[in-house]
């Protein structure tokens, strides 16, 4: 990066208009900004945190303050990641052309991409002190915004969109997202009725390691080059099979009978306790679908389901009785003929 240079904030504003684009100091601010010509902007990684950006630049500082941001005067290609870990603040990034990277994550930084954004895996906005704007078209595997205001002013194409109520689009007709979790708004902040979903069911497309949307786990995965999706390209990670327990046999019998198991999104059965007598009962989903959600399963009747559980387990040879203290719970003992 022999061509990178530091200029005064005043010069950066005169040349690129950065004061009108980002929240920066007043006219007497003596800070400095990094400038990188676009024709040489092919990087391995780009750390958008103040002290890390200073070290990354390789420049010998003559000014006591940290660099306020980075201007790329053209296109930017990053082999690996662009990440901003600091929740509350970070240097700004202005790219006056297109951006191509494997992953892009921002938290406290302000980012403006004047061209297109093409990301191999994930575009993530993590925290509410920053703001990301893409004026051109965006393509990614996953687009994820939690509290970070992210505006897509061109087209948007992704397999999964996690909007978190902070994702905004200029033209809904140019949005192609396979599945949504969260609400999408226009640039005025008004809800776009034909995009997004109040259901969280689409999060099933994520690897289970990321379904709770833990920000630091997501950032670590992005820096390691790991896709957030469940069925991502590449070799599967071998996982040891967990040891089988007697409760697993009860679950198997209920699944074989076609009974739905409870999880984050679906109503269904729960098998409780570590030893006999086990408890089996019906439980509602933690995050049920809104009525009318496309693809949502039919609602279940708790009483009828409990009757199905008893019949299925009895047919499988288990001793089943009603809990004397709770009519909505079955007590399940040992299986006939088992040790």
pLDDT in tens, 113-151: 999 999 999 999 988 888 999 999 999 999 999 889 999
Residue 135's pLDDT is 98
**What is the pLDDT, as a whole number, of residue 232?**
52
* Residue 129: predicted pLDDT: 85
More confident residue, 286 or 110: 110
Q: CA–CA separation, 293 vs 119, rounded Å?
A: 30
Residue 89 in this model has a pLDDT that exceeds 60: yes
101 phi/psi in degrees, rounded to 5 = -155, 165
Residue 161 has pLDDT above 80, yes or no: yes
Check: pTM over 0.85? Answer yes or no: no
Query: Taking residues 94-106, what's their average pLDDT?
Result: 96
111 neighbors 130 (Cβ within 8 angstroms): yes
Paired tokens of 218: 């997501």
- The answer on pLDDT for 274 being more than 90 is no
Q: Alpha-carbon distance 160 to 141, whole Å?
A: 7
Question: Which residue in the block uniquely carries the two structure tokens 């739905």?
Answer: 260
pLDDT at 336: 63
Sign, CA torsion 215/25/153/197? positive
Ranking 87-91, 228-232, 300-304, 331-335 by mean pLDDT, the lowest is: 228-232
Range list of H helices, the chain: 9-16, 18-21, 50-57, 215-223, 246-256, 302-315
Q: What is the pLDDT of residues 176-199, one digit of tens each?
A: 999 999 999 999 999 998 899 888
pLDDT band at 292; cut points 50, 70, 90: low
Question: Which two tokens mark 217?
Answer: 């786990």
- Tell me: pLDDT of 237 over 70: no
Predicted local confidence at residue 29, as pLDDT: 75
* pLDDT band at residue 97 using 50, 70 and 90 as cut-offs: very high
Determine what percent of the chain is predicted with pLDDT higher than 70.
Answer: 93
Measured CA to CA, the distance from residue 95 to residue 104 in angstroms comes to 13
Confidence tier at 300 by pLDDT (50, 70, 90) = very high
Residue 201 has pLDDT above 90, yes or no: no
Smallest Cα–Cα separation from 124: which of 24, 58, 34, 221?
221
Got the DSSP string for 243-306?
A: PP-HHHHHHHHHHHTTPPBP-SS--EEEEE-SSSSEEEEEE--SSPPPTT-TTPPPP--HHHHH
H helices within 123-179, ranges in order?
none
Report DSSP letters for 216-248, one per residue: HHHHHHHHTT--SBTT-SSPPPP-PPPPP-HHH
Least confident of 59-63, 234-238, 245-249: 234-238
* Average pLDDT score over residue span 70-95: 94
Buried b (16+ CB within 10 A) or exposed e, 221-231: bbbeebbbbee
| CA 96 to centroid of chain Cα atoms | 27
Phi first, then psi: what are they for 20, rounded to 5°?
-80, -15
Instruction: For residue 337, give the DSSP letter.
Output: T
Q: Tell me, what's the pLDDT at 236? A: 47
pLDDT above 90 (res 6): yes
């Amino acid at each position: 990066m022999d061509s990178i240079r530091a200029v005064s904030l005043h010069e950066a504003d005169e040349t690129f208009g950065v004061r009108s684009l980002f929240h920066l100091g007043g006219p007497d601010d003596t800070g400095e900004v990094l400038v990188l010509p676009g024709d040489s902007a092919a990087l391995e990684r780009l750390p958008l945190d103040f002290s890390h950006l200073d070290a990354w630049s390789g420049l010998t500082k003559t000014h006591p303050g940290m660099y306020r941001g980075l201007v790329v005067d053209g296109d930017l290609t990053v082999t690996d990641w662009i990440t901003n870990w600091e929740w509350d603040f970070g240097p700004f990034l202005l790219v006056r052309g297109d951006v191509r990277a494997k992953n892009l994550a921002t938290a406290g930084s302000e980012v403006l991409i004047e061209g297109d954004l093409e990301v191999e895996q994930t575009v993530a906005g993590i925290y509410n002190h920053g703001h990301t704007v893409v004026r051109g078209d965006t393509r990614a595997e996953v687009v994820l915004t939690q509290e970070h205001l992210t505006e897509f002013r061109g087209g948007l194409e992704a397999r999964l969109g996690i909007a978190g109520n902070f994702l905004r689009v200029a033209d809904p007709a140019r949005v192609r997202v396979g599945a949504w979790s969260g609400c999408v708004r226009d640039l005025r902040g008004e809800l776009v009725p034909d995009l997004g979903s109040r259901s969280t069911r689409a999060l099933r497309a994520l690897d289970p390691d990321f379904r709770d949307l833990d920000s630091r786990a997501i950032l670590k995965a992005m820096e390691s080059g790991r896709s957030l999706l469940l069925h991502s390209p590449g070799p599967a990670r071998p996982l040891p099979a967990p040891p089988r327990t007697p409760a697993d046999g009860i679950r198997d019998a209920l699944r074989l009978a076609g009974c739905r198991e409870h999880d984050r999104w679906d109503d269904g059965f729960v098998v409780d306790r570590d030893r006999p007598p086990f408890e089996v009962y019906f439980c509602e989903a933690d995050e049920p679908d809104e009525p009318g959600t496309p693809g949502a399963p039919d609602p279940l009747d708790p009483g009828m389901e409990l009757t199905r559980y008893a019949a299925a387990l009895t047919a499988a040879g288990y001793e089943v009785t009603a809990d004397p203290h709770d009519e909505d719970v079955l007590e399940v003992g040992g299986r006939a003929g088992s040790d």
